[in-house]
Structure 1
Amino acid sequence: MKPCVMGAMGALLLLGVIACGCTTAPGEGETITGEVWLLNAYMDENGAMAAPLVSAPVTAEFMDGSLGGSGGCNSYGASYETSGTSMTIEMPVSTLMYCPEQGVMDQEQRYLTLLSDVASYSVHEGVLTMMDGSGAMILRFEAIVQTLEGTKWLLAGHHDGQNGFVSVLAGTRVSAEFGADDQMTGSAGCNNYFGPYSADKGTIAIGPLASTEMYCADPEGVMDQETAYLAAIQTAAEYRVGAGELMLMDEDGMRLARYVVSTETSAENLMATEWRMTSYSTGTGSVRSVLEGTVVSANFGADGQVAGSAGCNNYFGPFTVTGDRIAIGPLGSTKMMCGEPAGVMEQESAYLDALASSVAYRIEGSVLTLKDAGAVMVTFTEDTTSLTGRQWMLTSYTNGVGGVVSMLPETRITATFGADGQVTGSSGCNNYFAEYMAADDVLAVGAAGMTQMYCEQPDGVMDQETLYLQALERSSSYQIRSGTLTVMDEDGATLLVFS
């Protein structure tokens, strides 16, 4: 990224760049540059550490002497320099918007004032802490994972190719999803689009993109917006993931598209995924990893009930989601007592308390984080041994005469096993759906329904589709190992292999 370009929250005129020293806290081997930092605590006017407003995230990016980000309402910029663990930040400048939500402007002003009070810093395991001249902590940030996958992004603004950066037309919905198969898909407002992409450490290349060929008359200008949007993102060279947003830029750092996380899809991901706990708050200010030899899980159902194993007992209870807010409980559980491993009952009690204390959630890639007003309560990772909660991509299938063959080039077959007992996906030309039942390693799939399109290219795609659906209906068992799903018939012969 060009050193004069702001990242996640938009470009603004920065103060002059000051040559800076080493940005590594001695002994840690971690740097403040190359990350997007999200504020999770700041010192209020009474000298106590407070959690920032969930609805007004504050971010910081450090780029060789230039600091910038979002103050919760406005974008800001400043120059900074470091020497060892010492840091000085010049008074920031910012844009001049007003945000009416209660507390946002006061929080922003306090944050910008605190930046000027910073005298030292430390970085450890993805946490950036800033201290004042007395050594007291005044700001604390956590690094935001720079991942594109696993999130559905909704367009908030784009470059129109003529007049600059514009907002999305009212009444239109433009989306983007970056798949693990290096395919980008979404809605351009009228038509669906798709094509390859590659991304690595902040750089990205998109296209060539193709789309369906419908024409939409309403709202006025939707087709012009679609054309400009698709043209803009295919010139993208850089990307930054911020607090609930994604920015695409060209090689000169000019903004091309700004997306925000679809909270509806985040809720869908929450409820479509089997989660396994990795760490939890002890209730005394510390966070511990899950005890070795225990499995703590959570399944957030579409019926508004969460259930799982707390390590010894099974638990259950209601939950509600509104945007990125969550309320869990009251929780009930079975009443067993487990003596092994040592500490399992204490972990169970702390875990259930942490769940009930959570008020916000965030999904980044395969990680789910639950928080109270500011501190992390529980972290989960996607349970990769689960059939549900992921899209499976077919890599090979039985040809019906005893052999297993690879997919035709330039074809894509998928399967998503929903918690509702429905398997859906693309069979290469058409979309399909069927009922299924899975228990332990047993899998049974009913007769599939499908759309009725006919595809001529590539040669053989319709035969491949027929063989795939026939094999799916013959499913009898399955196994998942190292991210690969293998489906077998009643004799144990391989029918389908997915990744």
Structure 2
Amino acid sequence: MTVSALALFTLAACGTESGSGGGSGDSGDGSGTVRTESHVTGVHWNVSSLTVGGKKTAAPEGAHVRIDSEGKATGNLGCNRFTSDVRLDGDKVTVGRSTTTGMACEKDVQQFENAMGKAFHGELEAAVAGRGDEQTLTLTTAGGDSIALASEPPAPLTGTTWKVTGLASGSTAASLPAGTEDKAHLTFAKDGSVEGSLGCNSFHGKAAVSGFTLAFGPLVTTRKMCPGPEMELERALLGVLEGRTTYAIDHRSLSIEAKSGKGLDATAPAAGK
């Protein structure tokens, strides 16, 4: 049930991408409602809530869906990730092939996913309202149950506090040393500077941005001695934040890779937090 629910959810959002002449939406009356066949792909949609049988349930944190222009959608309902194909017919959508992870979820999250499984079946109708970075998407079943989503803009490189969440070596990802979670972070400024914490010592320095590259100058750090895991993390980060590196942002996730192949992963807080 969970697999089909996730697929249906994804498909519903994707279904709003395609337009057939009679789709719903604004015709330019200034109400803020836009046509469902536009403004959907390439948007990170946070799941806000699910309403089943008149009862509204808030979605787990991190629940989202993203639709591409190739008939694919991916997302997360707060626990399991999913991918789905879609078949479209105007504002109606039909479930295609779907896959999902099978992690065990916390009780309340599992209950939400089970509710999604009951709500998402048959045909779904989509409606988009708002403009720019402030849009909402509502998906409604034939029985009147609905899922509410809201767009969230990607985090900018500069001015964002990026929390370091992982390390990498080439294509191999690794978690942070035990006990160092939430200790390292970095913030880039528009003037080409960077500052933050390496997990033990604070630092500041230069980080010139050009395209998808970051050129770090020598970093100035404090000189505290910290427990072993924190010093291990600090050494690893100093090996990444030096010289010319490449970076990429995927919505609110940042990855930086040095020429050596060493890298880091970081995340930004949700918009408004």
TM over 0.5: yes
Distance 2:245 2:160 in 1: 20
Contact 1:193 1:212 in 2 (8 A): yes
Partner residue in 2 for 1:188 = 198
Shift in Å, 1:137 = 4.6
Secondary structure at 1:363 match in 2: coil
Secondary structure at 1:165 match in 2: strand
Q: Report 1:58-457 matches (<5 A).
A: 58-64=63-69, 65-90=71-96, 92-100=98-106, 102-111=107-116, 114-117=119-122, 119-125=124-130, 126-134=135-143, 136-148=144-156, 150-159=159-168, 161-162=169-170, 164-172=172-180, 173-181=183-191, 183-191=193-201, 192-196=203-207, 198=209, 204-212=212-220, 218-220=227-229, 221-227=232-238, 229-230=240-241, 234-241=245-252, 246-248=253-255, 257-261=265-269, 363=272
Question: Do the aligned partners of residues 193 and 76 (structure 1) sit closer, same or farther apart at CA in structure 2, a change above 3 Å counting?
Answer: farther
Distance 1:58 1:231 in 2: 35
Structure 1 residues without counterparts, runs of 5 or longer: 1-14, 263-361, 365-499
Structure 2 residues without counterparts, runs of 5 or longer: 1-9, 26-33, 258-262
Distance 2:197 2:41 in 1: 34
Shift in Å, 1:167 = 1.6
Distance 1:26 1:233 in 2: 49
TM-score with structure 2 setting the length: 0.67
Q: Which stretch shows the higher mean deviation, 227-236 or 114-123?
A: 227-236
Question: Do the aligned partners of residues 225 and 232 (structure 1) sit closer, same or farther apart at CA in structure 2, a change above 3 Å counting?
Answer: farther
Shift in Å, 1:193 = 4.5
Contact 1:71 1:108 in 2 (8 A): yes
- Which structure's CA Rg is the greater one? 1
Shift in Å, 1:140 = 1.0
Question: Do the aligned partners of residues 184 and 104 (structure 1) sit closer, same or farther apart at CA in structure 2, a change above 3 Å counting?
Answer: same
Distance 2:120 2:255 in 1: 27
Percent sequence identity is 17
Shift in Å, 1:130 = 0.9
Return the letter of the residue paired with 1:120: E
Distance 1:168 1:195 in 2: 25
Contact 2:129 2:137 in 1 (8 A): yes
Render the CA deviation track for 1:274-295: whole Å, top value 9, x for unaligned. Answer: xxxxxxxxxxxxxxxxxxxxxx
Question: Do the aligned partners of residues 196 and 145 (structure 1) sit closer, same or farther apart at CA in structure 2, a change above 3 Å counting?
Answer: same
Contact 2:74 2:81 in 1 (8 A): yes
Render the CA deviation track for 1:169-194: whole Å, top value 9, x for unaligned. Answer: 23332102243445443223345254
Distance 1:124 1:37 in 2: 13
Render the CA deviation track for 1:399-428: whole Å, top value 9, x for unaligned. Answer: xxxxxxxxxxxxxxxxxxxxxxxxxxxxxx
Q: Cα RMSD over matched residues?
A: 3.7
Shift in Å, 1:236 = 1.6
Contact 2:128 2:138 in 1 (8 A): yes
Shift in Å, 1:95 = 1.9
Distance 1:108 1:115 in 2: 10
Return the letter of the residue paired with 2:44: V
Count of aligned pairs: 231
Contact 1:35 1:143 in 2 (8 A): yes
Partner residue in 1 for 2:55 = 48
Partner residue in 2 for 1:275 = none
Shift in Å, 1:34 = 1.5
Distance 1:194 1:81 in 2: 51
Question: Do the aligned partners of residues 185 and 139 (structure 1) sit closer, same or farther apart at CA in structure 2, a change above 3 Å counting?
Answer: same
Return the letter of the residue paired with 1:186: G
Render the CA deviation track for 1:71-93: whole Å, top value 9, x for unaligned. Answer: 11122221224343222333642
